[in-house]
């Protein structure tokens, strides 16, 4: 039998995966018609594209046996003859599934067709926005809902000053109430986004008819300048195929289906945003997934029905946690019908509301803004009896509360996985979160239930093995304390007194080396220390793909004199090195052979440079904008602070690399909120953010403290770094560490000194600063240390003959055997 699926978005993909899981390819010959030229991707994480996540990383793999036709949309369907027409051919079907989703709604605003006006829906839209935004200064978003704030964040990430215009009196009017909207507005405006609430856009203007947009006219009479405009005013069901085929549609759009997701034609189904079920269309992924599962079952002869829609949402917008679940926004009823329990912490901008039944026992809904850590437990409790007192669930102390959910509670709403199903998977041998994900699908969509999965593992008695490796039964944090308290200074002492097996392994040796370096700050290549180091530390340089090394001198804050700039250029020229200016405001020199490293560094040190520690798990850079010294928007000296901090923390060894940035105003040109610790200037001082990072899984940093004096700021950064170094796991970034221990806990330790160790952390940092030495200068001053920098021990003057280069754009690059050169020849 032949199945044709029209549309390949997230819901269409879920249908294919569900059919594949049921081995349906034996019963159905499946063809998918996709309008986009790329396969389905995670539309929920669309904005991550501007954070460095590639389209490939966002895309899904298509199950085997599926004929996916990209760029070949369905043009018409004929239910009578069971045929689908495309631009290329006419396909017959035994069953047809419409998964066409929705299209962006563009309100009838004068000038909406001007150049520079975009919608925010697909990856192609995002690429067009990014291309057009180059060189622009100001952007505006029409729509302050979920999608509008996503678009606003995208414009910010592109470096534009951003405005948001929303017709409703609050942001995200469909998800949060008035009080929650006020807290959200405070968060958003602190990021430099200007909000215009209770205002409609009446026109998009340009300098003349047909010219690019340069601003908006609002119903209030206000003028909003904008070089680029993004419309995110909602979506409409894409039901044109059904209309053309005569299938019934709803009054407000959407193909009408029954509880089995079947249209008026028994051979045609509709799922996702295009389907109207129970008189409503749903724009969330969880109901769409549920519909996909229903149709997969029906296609194989089952009788599954739509279980109802879960409209709960949890997301992070502009770095702010926002969650809504259940009946949270229904206009107030009589006092006897429901009770509202509200928690408000203005100091930390946290708002929460729970809607309870009149007997205060059943949870009906809720809103969370600023801190959504309680969402997994609350969502799983929806419609049932509360597992603890309401304020216990909302307040920070709730993290330690004794909370027990019934087995029927849905732990993962995206994939309809209950607590009993998770516990069943654990009983069958799933002993960690990845195993539970693989077995049940819980946590594989939005990920908001992952903290609850960890709780259930603990509830089931699964104890996570914290052993560092087979040689040490301690975690890294425990081993750090042992080495510190015992005053140990060598790996031999550590493993003899507190480990097993005298040699260690590739896991524990670098960890112990890092701990010793963090505590004692001694030269890392002396004695047995040298054998503990990773490859990069072994030669104080990063090894590249062709066996050469990179040279990265420190340039604090990105500030450099012409003389030093010339010195770097002369070294690069004389040693014929590839030269690259990095995103971290440094200059990398690539292509140095190991025996050349001492000669190169001697030249650089003579010119006043020192090691940039690009090779170590240590502080890398502290990026800065030009700040108040040059920029007309700057309110503090970001360059001066960045230089002072980079010199203060240079050489600081840690469980993972550390990056930082200082922005001189809320425009955030230094991208401080994507760093392990980031600092943003305010009129009153500095805001300190922690736990951010880019890379494979980008994360925005969280606000630790605000409006700090420079002295307070340095004190808190000192303590933050030392507390992280002391307690983090092996190779754990600050982002993962923050998520594991909790921001509130870190704040209590750093700011309030809840553990009484602030003085100890201060002393540790003082010891580091007082013992700092430049590793390359120490190397050049010692002939014994220099002796290791050779390609061949028995022929120290001989360069490695396997290292070969070619030239591209006037510089050397590694010669790749069997590759095509820009001229078309094969090497």
Taking the alpha carbons at both ends of the chain, their separation in whole angstroms is 50
User: Is 449 annotated as contributing to ligand binding?
Assistant: no
Spatial distance between the Cα atoms of 136 and 148, rounded to a whole number of angstroms: 19
DSSP 648-692: HHTT-B-SS-EEEEEESSTT-TT-GGGSSEEEEEETTEEEEEES-
60 is written with which tokens?
């899904």
Cα dihedral value 395, 397, 403, 405, nearest 10: 30
Report pLDDT for 141.
96
Which region among 265-269, 416-420, 602-606 has the lowest average model confidence (pLDDT)? Answer: 416-420
Where do the CATH 3.50.50.60 domains begin and end in the chain?
A: 2-103+237-299, 106-233
Spatial distance between the Cα atoms of 162 and 440, rounded to a whole number of angstroms: 41
CATH architecture entry for 312-404? 2-Layer Sandwich (3.30)
* φ, ψ for residue 173, nearest 5 deg: -65, -20
Task: Give the model confidence (pLDDT) of 671-712 as tens digits.
Answer: 999 999 999 999 999 999 999 987 656 788 999 999 999 999
Question: What residues contact residue 275 under an 8 Å CB cut-off, 6+ apart?
Answer: 98, 237, 254, 255, 257, 261, 281, 291
Question: What residues contact residue 429 under an 8 Å CB cut-off, 6+ apart?
Answer: 435
Where do the CATH 3.30.390.30 domains begin and end in the chain?
A: 312-404
Report pLDDT for 681.
95
Question: So what CATH class is 2-103+237-299?
Answer: alpha beta
User: Is 261 annotated as contributing to ligand binding?
Assistant: no
pLDDT (mean) for 789-807: 73
pLDDT (mean) for 145-149: 87
Spatial distance between the Cα atoms of 153 and 139, rounded to a whole number of angstroms: 11
Report pLDDT for 402.
47
* Residue 224: alpha-carbon gap to chain centroid: 30
Question: So what CATH class is 405-464?
Answer: mainly alpha
Q: Of the CATH numbers 3.30.413.10, 2.40.10.120, 3.30.70.380, 3.30.200.20, which one belongs to the domain with range 542-771? A: 3.30.413.10
307 is written with which tokens?
């279980």
Report pLDDT for 143.
93
Question: What residues contact residue 433 under an 8 Å CB cut-off, 6+ apart?
Answer: 443, 450, 453, 454, 457
Spatial distance between the Cα atoms of 550 and 650, rounded to a whole number of angstroms: 19
Q: β-strands 702-708, 685-690: how paired? A: antiparallel
Spatial distance between the Cα atoms of 175 and 183, rounded to a whole number of angstroms: 13
Confidence label for 535 from pLDDT (cuts 50, 70 and 90): low
User: Is 669 annotated as contributing to ligand binding?
Assistant: yes
Task: Give the model confidence (pLDDT) of 106-119 as tens digits.
Answer: 999 999 999 999 99
Q: How many CB atoms are closer than 10 A to CB 773? A: 13
* CB distance 451 to 376 below 8 Å: yes
Phi-psi region of 540 (alpha: psi -120 to 50; beta: other; left: phi over 0): left
Judged against a pLDDT cut of 70, whether residue 757 lies above it is answered with yes
Confidence label for 71 from pLDDT (cuts 50, 70 and 90): very high
Task: Give the model confidence (pLDDT) of 203-237 as tens digits.
Answer: 999 999 889 999 999 999 999 999 999 999 988 99
515 is written with which tokens?
């701990």
pLDDT (mean) for 428-434: 80
Q: Of the CATH numbers 3.20.20.70, 3.50.50.60, 3.30.230.10, 2.40.37.10, which one belongs to the domain with range 106-233? A: 3.50.50.60
Q: At what angle do helices 508-520 and 491-498 cross, to 10 degrees?
A: 120
Report pLDDT for 349.
78
Q: How many CB atoms are closer than 10 A to CB 767? A: 14
Spatial distance between the Cα atoms of 502 and 777, rounded to a whole number of angstroms: 33
């Amino acid at each position: 039998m032949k199945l044709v699926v029209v549309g390949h978005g997230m819901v269409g993909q879920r249908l294919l995966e569900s059919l594949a899981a049921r081995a349906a390819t034996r019963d159905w010959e499946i063809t998918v018609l996709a309008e986009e030229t790329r396969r389905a991707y995670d539309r929920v994480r669309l904005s991550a594209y501007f954070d460095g996540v590639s389209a490939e990383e966002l895309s899904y793999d298509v199950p085997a046996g599926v004929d996916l036709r990209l760029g070949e949309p369905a043009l018409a369907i004929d239910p009578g003859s069971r045929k689908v027409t495309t631009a290329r051919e006419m396909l017959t079907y035994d069953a047809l599934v419409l998964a066409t989703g929705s299209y962006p709604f563009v309100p009838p605003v004068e000038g909406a067709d001007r150049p520079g006006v975009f919608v925010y829906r697909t990856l192609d839209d995002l690429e067009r926005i990014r291309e057009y935004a180059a060189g622009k200064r100001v952007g505006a978003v029409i729509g302050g809902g979920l999608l509008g704030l996503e678009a606003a964040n995208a414009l910010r990430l592109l470096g534009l000053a951003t405005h948001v215009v929303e017709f409703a009196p609050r942001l995200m009017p469909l998800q949060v109430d008035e009080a929650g909207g006020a807290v959200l507005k405070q968060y958003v405006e602190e990021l430099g986004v200007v909000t215009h609430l209770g205002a409609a856009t009446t026109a998009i203007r340009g300098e003349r008819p047909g010219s690019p947009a340069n601003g908006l006219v609002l119903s209030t009479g206000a003028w909003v300048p904008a070089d680029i405009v993004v419309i995110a005013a909602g979506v409409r069901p894409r039901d044109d195929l059904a209309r053309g085929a005569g299938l019934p549609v709803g009054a407000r759009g959407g193909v009408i289906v029954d509880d089995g997701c079947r249209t008026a034609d028994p051979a045609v189904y509709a799922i996702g945003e295009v389907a109207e079920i129970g008189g409503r269309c749903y724009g969330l992924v969880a109901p769409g997934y549920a519909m996909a599962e229903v149709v997969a079952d029906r296609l194989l002869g089952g009788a599954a029905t739509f279980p109802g829609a879960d409209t709960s949402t949890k997301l992070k917008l502009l770095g702010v946690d926002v969650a809504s679940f259940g009946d949270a926004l229904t206009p107030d009823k009589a006092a006897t019908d429901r009770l509202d329990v509200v928690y408000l912490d203005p100091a930390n901008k946290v708002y929460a509301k729970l809607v309870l039944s009149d007997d205060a026992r059943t949870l009906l809904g809720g809103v969370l803004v600023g801190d959504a850590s309680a969402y997994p437990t609350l969502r799983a409790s929806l419609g049932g009896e509360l597992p603890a007192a309401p304020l216990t669930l909302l307040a920070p102390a709730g993290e330690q509360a004794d909370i027990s959910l019934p087995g029927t509670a849905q732990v993962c709403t995206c994939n309809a996985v209950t607590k009993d199903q998770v516990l069943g998977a654990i009983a069958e041998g799933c002993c960690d979160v990845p195993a539970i994900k693989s077995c049940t699908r819980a946590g594989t969509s939005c990920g908001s239930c992952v903290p609850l999965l960890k709780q259930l593992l603990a509830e089931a008695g699964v104890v996570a093995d914290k052993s560092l490796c087979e040689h040490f039964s301690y975690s890294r944090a425990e081993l750090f304390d042992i080495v510190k308290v015992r005053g140990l200074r060598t790996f031999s002492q550590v493993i003899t007194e507190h480990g097993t097996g005298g040699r260690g392994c590739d896991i524990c040796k670098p960890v112990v080396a890092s701990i010793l370096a963090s505590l004692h700050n001694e030269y890392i290549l002396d004695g047995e220390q040298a054998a503990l180091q990773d490859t990069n530390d072994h030669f104080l340089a990063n090894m590249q793909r062709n066996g050469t090394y990179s040279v990265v001198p420190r340039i604090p804050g990105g500030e450099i004199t012409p003389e030093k700039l010339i010195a770097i250029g002369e070294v690069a020229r004389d040693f014929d090195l590839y030269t690259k200016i990095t995103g971290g405001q440094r200059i990398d020199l690539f292509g140095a052979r190991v025996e050349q490293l001492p000669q190169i560094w001697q030249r650089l040190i003579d010119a006043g440079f020192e090691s940039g520690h690009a090779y170590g798990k240590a502080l890398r850079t502290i990026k800065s904008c030009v700040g108040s010294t040059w920029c007309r928007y700057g309110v503090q000296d970001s360059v001066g602070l960045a230089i002072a901090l980079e010199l203060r923390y240079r050489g600081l060894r840690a469980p993972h690399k550390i990056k930082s940035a200082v922005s001189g105003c809320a425009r955030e040109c230094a991208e401080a909120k994507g760093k392990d610790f980031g600092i943003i200037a305010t009129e009153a001082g500095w805001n300190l953010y922690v736990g951010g990072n880019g890379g494979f899984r980008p994360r925005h940093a969280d606000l630790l403290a605000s409006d700090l004096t420079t002295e307070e700021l340095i004190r808190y950064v000192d303590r933050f770094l030392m507390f992280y170094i002391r307690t983090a796991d092996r190779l754990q970034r600050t982002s993962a560490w923050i998520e594991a221990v909790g921001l509130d806990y870190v704040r209590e330790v750093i700011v309030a000194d809840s553990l009484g160790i602030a003085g100890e952390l201060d002393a540790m940092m003082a010891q580091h600063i007082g013992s700092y030495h430049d590793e390359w200068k120490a190397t050049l001053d010692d002939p014994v240390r220099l002796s290791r920098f050779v390609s061949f021990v028995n022929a120290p003057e001989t360069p490695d003959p396997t290292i070969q280069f070619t030239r591209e754009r006037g510089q050397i690059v590694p010669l790749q055997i069997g590759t095509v050169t820009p001229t078309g020849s094969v090497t």
